[in-house]
Amino acid sequence: MKFENILAFAKQLDENDPLKHFRDQFYIPIINGKECIYFTGNSLGLQPKTTQDYVLNELEDWANFGVEGHFHARKPWMPYHEIFPTQLSKIIGALPEEIVVMNQLTVNLHLLMVSFYRPTKQRYKIICETKAFPSDQYAMESQVKYHGFNYEEAVIEVSARAGEYAIRTEDILATIQEHGDSTALVLFGGVNYYTGQFFDIQKITEAAHAVGAIAGFDLAHAAGNVELQLHNWNADFACWCSYKYLNSGPGGVSGIYINQKHIADTSIPRFAGWWGHTKDTRFKMEKGFEPIPTAEGWQLSNAPILSMAAHKASLDIFDDAGMDNLIEKGKLLSDYLLFIIDEINNDLKEKLIQVITPRDAKEKGCQVSMLMLEKGAAVFEALKQHGVLADWREPNVIRVAPVPLYNTFNDVFTFGQIVKAILER
Listing from the earlier edge strand, what are the strands of the sheet with 368-372?
353-355, 368-372, 397-400, 391-393
> For residue range 52-96, what is the model confidence (pLDDT) as tens digits?
999 999 999 999 999 999 999 999 999 999 999 999 999 999 999
**CA atoms of 205 and 236, how far apart (whole Å):** 8
pLDDT at 152 over 90: yes
Q: Let me know: does 345 contact 370? Beta carbons within 8 Å.
A: no
Sorted by where each starts, the structural domains of the chain and their CATH numbers stand as 7-47+323-424 (3.90.1150.10), 55-319 (3.40.640.10)
pLDDT tens figures, 176-203:
999 999 999 999 999 999 999 999 999 9
Q: What angle do CA 153, 154, 159 make, to 5 degrees?
A: 80
pLDDT digit string (tens) for 36-57? 999 999 999 999 999 999 999 9
Per residue in 369-412, pLDDT (tens digit) is: 999 999 899 999 999 999 999 999 999 999 999 999 999 999 99
Cα 207 to Cα 234: distance, rounded to the nearest angstrom: 11
Question: What percentage of residues in the chain have a pLDDT greater than 90?
Answer: 98
Where would I find the beta strands (DSSP E) of 135-204? 155-158, 183-189
Q: CA 191, CA 200: separation in Å to the nearest integer? A: 9
Tell me how long the chain is. Answer: 425
Q: Which helix (H) or strand (E) holds 337?
A: helix 323-347
The answer to pTM > 0.85 is yes
The answer to whether the beta carbons of residues 336 and 3 sit under 8 Å apart is yes
pLDDT band at 425 (very low <50, low <70, confident <90, very high): confident
Q: Is 99 helix (H, G, I), strand (E, B) or coil?
A: strand
